[in-house]
Amino acid sequence: MDIGVEGKVVIVTGATANIGRAIALDFAAERAKLVAVGRDAEAGGRVVAEALARGASAAIFVQADLLDPASPARILAAAEALGPVAVLVNNVGGNVGAGFFVDSTPESWQGDIDITLMTTLRMTHAVLPGMIARKTGRIINIGSTAGLVGDYMLPIYSAAKSAVHGFTRVLAKEVGPHGITVNCVAPYGTVAEDPAAYSKGSRFHPDSGFFKNAFTGVAPEDMKKRARTGPLARPVARPEEVSAAVLYLASSRSDFVTGQIMQVDGGTLL
């Protein structure tokens, strides 16, 4: 299906692994001009090569850490060299650790807020003036079901994702009169089947050890409380399923959809 992004500039942050990688490659298959953003240059090169092989009108990688407040301006400049930005996908997010709030520190709070909320605010703030001037644009944030119900032992991450959802709704009200839609996709846990889908900086990379370290010493009964089940046999989403929702929200078929939080959760919240 032609979703109407051929030849248009699409920025995808966190594009080197898992959900972001799937989104980037799916936009490439729709012949968009892809701007893939990430920290791992080697993985970024692989994404660009595959994007071009899938039919992207153009594809570049911008190595940037969105925790750096100066990064959005540099990303925008690289993107605008290809043309006006039509779509922004704010995919960067995550948590710096896990545990009970009573045991947390202000430093850990700030880590989750910076990576999950502030990256979204900064990148959106960079692209928005151009979209308003052109009276058109799509902003798609990646939220989480954690922002809807709260993930056990992830209190600040859950709060930050909830803030992303709230930001989505209020920004949709502000910029709708300018022809811009703002929506959010909220997946449950999402895991790629191919280990090659993870860059070195990904928490899911085999060498990361992030999850093992984050939950070291957690009691088995508490680990059980973290799991959610739904009516489907498979417990997690695949990146391509999350990407499909993103591409719909970027397409001409969603012109009358804005301010929505679209769940891709296998029915875990039923």
Alpha helices of 68-154 — where are they, by DSSP H? 71-80, 106-113, 119-134, 146-149
Give the amino acid at 179. Answer: G
Rounded CA separation 87/254 (Å): 13
Q: Which residues pair with 12 in a beta bridge?
A: 36, 89
Catalytic residue, candidates 157, 188, 198, 248: 157
Residues 85 and 7: beta-carbon distance below 8 Å: no
Q: Which residues contact 255 (CB under 8 A, 6 or more apart)?
A: 181
Does 248 qualify as catalytic in the annotation? no
Residues 148 and 165: beta-carbon distance below 8 Å: yes
DSSP string, 41-64: HHHHHHHHHHHHHTT-SEEEEEE-
Rounded CA separation 165/184 (Å): 7
Cα 184 to chain centroid distance, Å, stands at 9
**Closest by alpha carbon to 60, among 19, 24, 18?**
24
Q: Which residues are catalytic?
A: 157
